[in-house]
Amino acid sequence: MQVTKIKDAKPYEAKLHWDVSALRLQGLEASKLESFSCSLSYFLPGGGCNWSSSPNEKVYVVLDGQATILTKEGDKEITTELGKLDSCVIGYNEERSVENRTNQVVTMLVIVSNS
C-alpha cells in the first residue's frame, strides 16, 4: 500500500490554469500508481482553466462548491454546473474548460488516466 497524507501532498502547477492550487495525491511523482493519477484542486473565485484537450480520460468530482464545466458538441458550447459530490467524465481528446463563477472556493478531485 502507498499512502499520501494530505500534509505531505506536493503542490504542482497545472498548465493552462489560473487561480488554482493543485496537490498531487497519487500517481506520477506522488506514488508508483501506473494507470492513473489523482489530484486535489482548489479553484479560487474567478479561477479556472483554458479550453484544451488531452489524450487522457478525466474524472472530475466536486467535493465542495460549484464548478462550471464547458464542453463542445460540434460548434455548440455546452455548459454544465456541478455541485457538491457531482461528477463528470471528460473523454479522450474532448475539449473542455473549467470555471469557478462563484465567490466560494471549489474543491475538486481530479482523476486522470495515464493512457
The total of other beta-carbon atoms located within 10 Å of residue 64's CB is 14
The tens digit of pLDDT for each residue in 57-82 reads: 999 999 999 999 999 988 999 999 99
Q: Are 3 and 13 in contact (CB under 8 A)?
A: no
Q: How far apart are CA 27 and CA 25, in angstroms?
A: 7
Q: Is 87 helix (H, G, I), strand (E, B) or coil?
A: strand
Q: List the domains of the chain with CATH numbers.
A: 12-113 (2.60.120.10)
**pLDDT digit string, tens, across residues 18-66:** 999 999 999 999 999 999 999 999 999 999 999 999 999 999 999 999 9
Quote the CA–CA distance of 16 and 28 in Å, as a whole number. 19
